[in-house]
């Protein structure tokens, strides 16, 4: 169980998160939705230990994440895919997949990665600079699965992707869910979110203003799209 309670975060004197609480169980996909600037990415970065100006409680099972640095959080099985993907343009696809150390106990071997991401298999010897944006996104997701992350923190994984690649991301997330992995997903595509996720937290100005199930999101889609500015 990933359990975040009363999370507050600041950038200088500006408060980005206000008493944010959410949780996600093993085998559950949970989304954080909201306008740009609502605090979604900050929440992910706090969980991963990349943003330190904060207070509140964050636990992964019995582990107190607030007491741990980023590397130790990764070794517990947290895997982060940032919105800029974090790809090294001079490394090949295969180097991205074999160089990072094991982080967690549920790693995919290369054969499984390439079966799930056939485009990466075809380009395994190419540098990442030659990949399309969608292929780079697939590589970023494949890397955390290869490392063995049991909790996936994904920031806008479908942004800018063609519909066929969005469906591929959805299939991968469903596979991760079936294996008992936890997924915390920042997403603005409501239809994608309801297609893959179990529950949704709506953030506005750094505060969670609603916790919604899929039926509620679907019934209030027009209202939520207006709220999200999309």
Instruction: Kindly list the strands in the beta sheet with 207-213, ordered across the sheet, starting from the edge strand earlier in the chain.
Output: 78-81, 151-155, 182-186, 29-33, 199-204, 207-213
Model pLDDT for residues 131-175, shown as the tens digit of each residue: 998 899 999 999 999 999 999 999 999 888 888 889 989 999 999
Q: Which domain holds residue 63?
A: 2-228
Candidates 3, 6, 21, 26; CA nearest to 198 is 26
Cα–Cα distance for residue pair 157/44, rounded to 1 Å: 13
Cα–Cα distance for residue pair 20/22, rounded to 1 Å: 7
Please name the residue ranges forming H helices in the chain: 40-48, 70-75, 93-98, 110-116, 118-122, 133-147, 163-178, 190-196, 214-219, 221-228
Number of domains observed in the structure of the chain: 1
Model pLDDT for residues 69-94, shown as the tens digit of each residue: 999 999 999 999 999 999 999 999 99
Cα–Cα distance for residue pair 175/45, rounded to 1 Å: 24
Could you tell me the CATH number of the domain that includes residue 124? Answer: 3.40.50.300
Tokens of residue 116, six digits: 């799930």
24, containing H or E segment? strand 14-24
Candidates 21, 24, 20; CA nearest to 9 is 20
For the chain, how many residues are written? 230
- Phi and psi torsions of 190, nearest 5°: -65, -35
Model pLDDT for residues 2-56, shown as the tens digit of each residue: 999 999 999 999 999 999 999 999 999 999 998 888 999 999 999 999 998 789 9
């Amino acid at each position: 169980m990933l359990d975040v309670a009363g999370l507050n975060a600041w950038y200088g004197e500006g408060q980005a998160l206000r008493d944010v609480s959410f949780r996600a169980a093993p085998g559950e996909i949970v989304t954080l939705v909201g306008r740009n600037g609502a605090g979604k990415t900050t929440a992910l970065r706090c969980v991963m230990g990349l943003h330190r100006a904060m207070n509140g409680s964050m636990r992964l099972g019995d582990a107190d994440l607030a007491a741990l640095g980023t590397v130790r959080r990764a070794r517990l099985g947290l895997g982060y895919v940032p919105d800029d993907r974090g790809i090294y343009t001079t490394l090949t696809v295969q180097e991205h997949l074999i160089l990072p150390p094991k982080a967690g106990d549920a790693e995919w071997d290369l054969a499984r990665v390439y079966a799930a991401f056939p485009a990466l298999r075809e380009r395994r010897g190419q540098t990442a600079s030659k990949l399309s944006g969608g292929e780079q996104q697939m590589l970023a997701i494949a890397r955390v699965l290869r490392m063995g992350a049991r909790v996936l923190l994904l920031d806008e994984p479908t942004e800018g992707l063609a519909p066929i690649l969005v469906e591929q991301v959805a299939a991968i997330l469903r596979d991760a869910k079936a294996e008992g992995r936890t997924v915390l997903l920042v997403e603005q595509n409501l239809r994608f979110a309801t297609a893959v996720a179990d529950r949704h937290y709506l953030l506005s100005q750094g505060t969670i203003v609603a916790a919604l199930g899929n039926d509620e999101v679907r019934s209030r889609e027009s209202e939520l799209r207006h709220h999200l500015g999309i």
